[in-house]
């Protein structure tokens, strides 16, 4: 603290001395003023940087002398020895230490004391810092114990990923051979339950590391910053090797199991087959021709919006260019005589206006090219078998139902003339805005159609999965009773 106060005092004194240089002269030329501003900014940055550096040195000294720093070294040593028992003990001790300090801190705050009642009478701020240090120790101990231990009871990840893989391979082979999925489903249920605990443990250690990161210097992290980086690497490894690895395994095996049950029900139940066929058809419609049309419509709308924005920016830069066409510039010669001349400062603004114009033209051209593909996409939707079965053709963009059986003619005669005329005359933001306003109802109709198809698809998906769940629940009951 004394070091920080001394450094701060020195910096303030230096800044005061430098203030004379930054004094403003009303007769100062713009160039001289900008030079002083630039030097002042650089000086302020140097002063701030020095302050941050001193702060970093002080915080790292506190860390280096702490119990937490010594315990982190023990974590590294135990990891190299693969001594999971030592890692477990280090983690438990760190949590116990933090709990004791938390109790002392609570007592100090209740008494409105600036220090805690431990042997060294640490300040409240230092006590909070020590608690954050111990959180780092416990987090690193848990993460490294998970790496070296093979005991599920001592690992925050529970069973080893390779253990789950071996169990599932055995159960899946038996299920495929016998046609009975109960034992495999029970195993997957247990794996899913463990995954919830794994994720909770992952969030906990991440929060513990985050608490430590909250007390390290924002700049010039030094050794403290290095400890945070190592802890985050441990956490990333836990997520990759434990959570993501087991999640991918679960999804693969569970997906294959549910498909086998679905195929069995498809053969056994005409009602199930009807619902699954409808789901497949709706999914194919949504993922295929409908997504092609809606994505293209949104692309057109986005590009039109971009063109409008660029044209508005172009007008702003053109106005600035006009305002800076003739700028008064005052100069002072060696004898102190001042003269005024006029200069053209519009160049940068004209260049930016030209760039915005090119960007607007590019966006408008992209919109027009995509618009040319829309008739074919609408025709594809009109001719889609599922659209007819579901009675959705009348929801496509059209003026009236009289030409509904001639999709290409309908699109050409109703949609193309007004919009194509606007596209061909684009050049101002207002013209493109008019084009966009004319096109948006078409896009909205397609989006509404997509929403309807998605709703019907999801309804069938829920029905199908509910029947699969019921079948698996019955098989799991049999497996538990046998």
pLDDT for residue 223: 84
pLDDT, tens digit, 9 for 90 and up, residues 244-261: 999 999 999 999 999 999
pLDDT for residue 477: 98
pLDDT, tens digit, 9 for 90 and up, residues 256-294: 999 999 999 999 999 999 999 999 999 999 999 999 999
Contact 408, 379 (CB under 8 A): yes
Closest CA to 365 of 460, 299, 272: 299
Sequence length of the chain is: 482
pLDDT for residue 409: 37
Query: Measured between alpha carbons, how far is 267 from 464 in angstroms, rounded to an integer?
Result: 14
Buried b (16+ CB within 10 A) or exposed e, 388-406: eebebbebbbbeeeebeee
Residues in the chain with pLDDT values less than 70: 1-56, 219-221, 399-427
pLDDT for residue 403: 35
Using CA atoms, how far residue 291 sits from 296, 440, 449, 476, in Å, is: 8, 17, 10, 39
pLDDT for residue 416: 44
pLDDT for residue 334: 86
pTM of the predicted model as reported, rounded to 2 decimal places: 0.75
Q: What is the chain's Cα-based Rg?
A: 35
For residue 329, the cross-strand partners are 341
pLDDT for residue 53: 53
The dihedrals phi and psi of 268, each to the nearest 5 degrees, come to -90, -30
């Amino acid at each position: 603290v004394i070091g920080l106060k001394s450094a701060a005092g020195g910096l303030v004194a230096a800044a005061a001395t430098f203030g004379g240089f930054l004094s403003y002269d009303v007769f100062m030329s713009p160039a001289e003023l900008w030079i002083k501003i630039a030097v002042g900014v650089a000086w302020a940055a140097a002063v701030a940087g020095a302050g941050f550096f001193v702060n970093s040195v002080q915080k790292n000294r506190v860390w280096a002398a702490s119990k937490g720093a010594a315990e982190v070294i023990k974590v590294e040593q135990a990891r190299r020895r693969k001594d999971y028992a030592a890692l477990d003990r280090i983690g438990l001790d760190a949590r116990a230490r933090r709990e004791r300090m938390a109790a002392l801190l609570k007592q100090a705050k209740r008494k409105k004391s600036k220090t805690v009642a431990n042997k060294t009478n640490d300040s409240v701020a230092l006590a909070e810092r020590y608690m954050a240090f111990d959180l780092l120790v416990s987090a690193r101990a848990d993460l490294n114990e998970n790496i070296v231990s093979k005991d599920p009871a001592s690992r925050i990840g529970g069973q080893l990923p390779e253990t789950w893989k071996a169990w599932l391979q055995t159960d899946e082979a038996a299920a495929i051979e016998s046609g009975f999925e109960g034992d495999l489903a029970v195993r997957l249920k247990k794996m899913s339950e463990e995954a919830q605990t794994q994720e909770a443990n992952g969030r906990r250690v991440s929060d513990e590391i985050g608490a430590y990161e909250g007390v390290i210097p924002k700049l010039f992290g030094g050794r403290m910053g290095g400890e945070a980086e190592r802890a985050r690497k441990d956490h990333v490894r836990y997520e990759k090797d434990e959570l993501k690895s087991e999640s991918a395994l679960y999804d693969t095996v569970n997906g294959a199991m549910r498909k086998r049950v679905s195929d069995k029900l498809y053969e056994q139940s005409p009602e199930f087959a009807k619902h699954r066929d409808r789901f497949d058809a709706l999914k194919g419609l949504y993922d295929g021709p409908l997504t092609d049309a809606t994505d293209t419509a949104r692309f057109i709308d986005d590009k039109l919006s971009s063109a409008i924005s660029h044209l508005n920016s172009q007008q702003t830069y053109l106005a600035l260019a006009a305002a800076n066409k003739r700028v008064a510039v005052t100069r002072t010669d060696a004898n102190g005589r001042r003269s005024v001349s006029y200069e053209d400062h519009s160049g940068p603004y004209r260049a930016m206006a030209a760039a915005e114009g090119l960007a607007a033209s590019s966006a408008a051209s992209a919109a027009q090219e995509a618009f040319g593909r829309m008739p074919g996409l609408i025709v594809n939707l009109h001719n889609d078998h599922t659209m007819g079965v579901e009675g959705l053709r009348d929801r496509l963009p059209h003026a009236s139902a009289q030409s509904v059986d001639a999709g290409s003619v309908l699109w050409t005669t109703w949609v193309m003339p007004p919009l194509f005329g606007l596209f061909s005359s684009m050049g101002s933001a207002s013209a493109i805005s008019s084009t966009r306003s004319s096109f948006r109802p078409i896009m909205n109709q397609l989006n509404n159609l997509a929403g309807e198809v998605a709703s019907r698809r999801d309804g069938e998906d829920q029905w199908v999965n509910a029947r699969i769940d019921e079948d698996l629940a019955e098989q799991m009951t049999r497996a538990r009773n046998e």
